[in-house]
Amino acid sequence: MQARTRMFKALGCLVLAMTGASLLLAWMDPSPPIISPPTISGDERLAGMRGVVVERVDVRDGRWNSIEIVAGASAASGRLLRASSQQREVHFVVDDLGKPHRIGLWDDQRGAAGKVGTVRIEVVQPRSGEPMTAAQLATLQALILAINEEIMPGDSSLPIRLDGAWSRVYGLQEGDVFDLAPHR
């Protein structure tokens, strides 16, 4: 009888020790919950981007000749991006969650200072030196496709260039043409 009691005590202590150790490890390094984002088809994403590009905007033919993707500083979950981006003179912002925002320069169809004819898209860098997230890349591709459909005739597309920060991340020289746009 004593052996059985001793065994139950040992098993109880073992369960408590393992539970305590797992709680301690979870507290020290909590892993995010595994929640899959809703899947959006490419056509649905493109339809949404068309609204961002052309809704209440008179896009002028022949005004735009290239696209530049610039790195932006991260703000927690897309907050405060519109105000900071207006100071940076960009036309669109893709925040850290992959959500697109249209900025006043695009509404007015004005070029940024020193970048006449260039559509500037700011993509928030999650952390310095890291590549774009999958959500940012998908949004950026759809946004560029919507811009090209609105501006360029037929199957042609505007050349895409990366600024210094994104060029370094993707191993390119600043000003090199970057093939990011999905083909129509």
Alpha helices (H) in 1-80, listed in sequence order: 2-28, 42-54
Query: For each successive 10 residues of the chain (184 residues), what is the average pLDDT?
Result: 85 94 82 57 70 76 86 60 60 90 85 87 85 89 87 81 84 77 51
Q: Write the burial class of residue 6 (CB in 10 Å: 0-12 exposed, 13-18 middle, 19+ buried).
A: exposed
Looking up residue 140, the CATH number of its domain turns out to be 3.40.80
Cα distances (angstroms) measured from residue 135 to each of 35, 40, 119, 144, 162: 14, 11, 21, 14, 18
pLDDT at 78: 47
Q: Is residue 109 part of a domain?
A: yes
At 42 the pLDDT is 63
Q: Residue 12: inside a domain, yes or no? A: no
Nearest alpha carbon to residue 126 among 103, 98, 101: 98
Contact by Cβ (8 Å): 164, 174: yes
Contact indicator for 94, 52 with CB cutoff of 8 Å: no
Examine residue 47 and state whether it is found in any structural domain, yes or no: yes
pLDDT of residue 73: 75
Question: pTM for the full model?
Answer: 0.68
Give domain status of residue 111, yes or no. Answer: yes
Residues 6+ apart with CB under 8 A from 40: none
**Number of folded domains that form the chain:** 1
Q: Confirm whether 2 is domain-assigned.
A: no
What per-residue confidence (pLDDT) applies to 75? 56
Residues spanned by the domain of 101: 42-169
